[in-house]
Amino acid sequence: MGIPTRVYLNEILIPPPSPHPLEEGGERVIQYKSVATHNPTTTTKTPDLFSAFFFCAMSEGYYNSKKTDDICDDVCGQQGNPTVLSMSRLKCILKGLDFKTYIFLFVVIPVGIFSLYLHGQKISYFLRPLWESPPKPFHQIPHYYHENVSMESLCKLHGWRIRESPRRVFDAVLFSNEVDILTIRWKEIQPYVTQYVLLESNSTFTGFAKPLLFANNRDKFKFIESRLTYGVIGGRFKKKENPFIEEAYQRVALDQLLRIAGIEDDDLLIMSDVDEIPSEHTINLLRWCDDIPPILHLQLKNYLYSFEFFLDNKSWRASIHTYQTGKTRYAHYRQADVLLSDAGWHCSFCFRHISEFIFKMKAYSHYDRVRFPHYLNPDRIQDVICKGSDLFDMLPEEYTFKDIIGKLGPIPHSYSAVHLPAYLLNNAERYKFLLPGNCKRESG
């Protein structure tokens, strides 16, 4: 049997384990410097490799130096002995870890990584106020209207002058699949629109093929057929490209279609998505008044899924332009600092069929929000609609912690159907899915 060995490590006396000779009478000599500062260089006889392995493990777990690494390389990574080869360097390291370290490595870290995978987007949105400031506030124009007030008085209330004759109005949209909401939009502004301009593509913004749904449903829009300029553009079908590039490509094509439709300087051009609906009296006011801003954004009431779920008054992307040849470009971002208050409605994801929800979730520019396949499950979508929750399980897109916290959770139900589009209320049975108390959708 060998001579008992004591190893001084950081001045802590660690007794070696019971000797276990490598072979009868065999001894191995390992030379190393003592870790304790007062111990000299020592030559120690060890009875077996177990003590050396123990030292390597302890060195890895509690003390990290070139000397101890060299020893572990010498012992734990030896070549030529089957017993040593069966023990990897990783095992040497793990022998020096205590229970708490195991818990941290194999429980805490994996759970943390998985949680980031599941909720990373929520964390990012919640911390948004730390790195992104709110945009510059709009200059908001009060909106005056009553059906018994003359147009001259209304123009004067806004600080404008009345014209001798109204301007022509062009309404231009990119169409995807919103047949019902397009009908309500066009019926709302029908009395005051000179020309409707609609562009449709056989591709979604995300590069997937789609049917020409407007062409297939064109018979439903005979009421504006004589005033319609309809165009079709072929998609580029670049699935891995940023969807906003395809969207911009189609908006440029809409500029060309407007020229074909005959738009001229001083005409009014409505720039908005199909589901951003200006009110009838807003369009009439702007076509009759002079001195209006050349670009005027419209503040719309935000609704989600139907007019039962009122979100806020923060929709601003819709705009009306006094057309100028060579200057006016069809776009859907902020182009001015002036905002006309209470000018209509924005009803997002306001569909009749569950299949339409699924189509839009996969087709529109924010497809990256569909992070998990179960988001597209029809039963889940129906449940989300009736609760007023978020389809993508996202936090509110706000710029202050106060606003984020204030909007957490489902949207409260509203039971008011006052000041909604007239055509919707006149055809309530046909469009009851858009009215309070009717959250159930057709499978479609």
> What are the tens digits of pLDDT across the range 15-29?
555 444 444 444 444
Residue 82 lies in a domain: yes
Q: Rounded CA gap, 212 and 203, in Å?
A: 9
**Whole-number Å distance between alpha carbons of 267 and 167:** 6
Residue 313 lies in a domain: yes
Query: What band does 128 get if pLDDT is binned at 50, 70 and 90?
Result: confident
Say if residue 86 is in the same domain as residue 21. yes
Q: Is residue 212 part of a domain?
A: yes
Residue 366's pLDDT band, with cuts at 50, 70 and 90, is: low
3-state SS, residue 344: strand
Is 301 found in the same domain as 371?
yes
How far apart (Å, rounded) are the C-alpha atoms in residues 273 and 175?
Answer: 8
CA–CA gap between residue 60 and residue 366 (Å, rounded): 48
In a domain, 253, yes or no: yes
DSSP letters, 352-421, are SBHHHHHHHHHHSTTGGG--SGGGG-HHHHHHHHHHT--TT------SSHHHHHHT-SSPPP----TT--
Residues 85 and 74 in one domain: yes
67: which residues sit within 8 A by CB, 6+ positions away? 32, 33
Q: Say how far apart CA 103 and CA 332 lie, in whole Å.
A: 51
Is 403 within the bounds of a domain? Answer: no
Provide the pLDDT for residue 404: 87
Calculate mean pLDDT across residues 357-377: 83
Same domain? For 314 and 341 the reply is yes
Same domain, 115 and 156: no
Q: Are 420 and 345 in contact (CB under 8 A)?
A: yes
Same domain assignment for residues 12 and 41: yes
pTM, 2 dp: 0.73
Number of domains the chain is built from: 3
Q: What is the pLDDT of residue 86?
A: 52
Mean pLDDT of the chain: 82
Structural domain including 77 reads 7-97
Q: Is residue 58 part of a domain?
A: yes
For residue 412, is pLDDT > 90?
yes
Residues 286 and 367 reside in one and the same domain: yes
Q: What is the DSSP string of 161-226?
A: EE-SSPPPEEEEEEESS-HHHHHHHHHHHGGG-SEEEEEEESB-TTS-B---HHHHTGGGGGGGGG
Residue 234 has pLDDT above 50, yes or no: yes
**Residue 53 pLDDT:** 42
When pLDDT is averaged across residues 379-392 and rounded to a whole number, the result is: 96
How confident is the model at residue 439, as a pLDDT?
96
Within a domain: residue 384? no
What pLDDT is stored for residue 89 in this prediction?
A: 65
Half-sphere exposure of 184 (CA within 13 A, CB side): 29
Taking CA atoms, 41 is separated from 8, 29, 73, 159, 294, in Å, by 12, 14, 20, 95, 88
Residues 264 and 229 both lie in one domain: yes
One domain for residues 123 and 37: no
Whether 52 and 105 map to the same domain: the answer is no
> How far is it, in rounded angstroms, from Cα 277 to Cα 201?
21
Q: What percent of the chain lies above the pLDDT cut of 70?
A: 74
30 by Cβ neighbours in 10 Å (0-12 / 13-18 / 19+) ranks as middle
What is the DSSP code string of 10-27? TTEEEPPPPP--SSTT--
Query: What confidence category does residue 289 fall into, taking pLDDT thresholds of 50, 70 and 90?
Result: very high
- DSSP symbol at 86: T
Residue 390 lies in a domain: no
Domain match, 326 and 209 both: yes
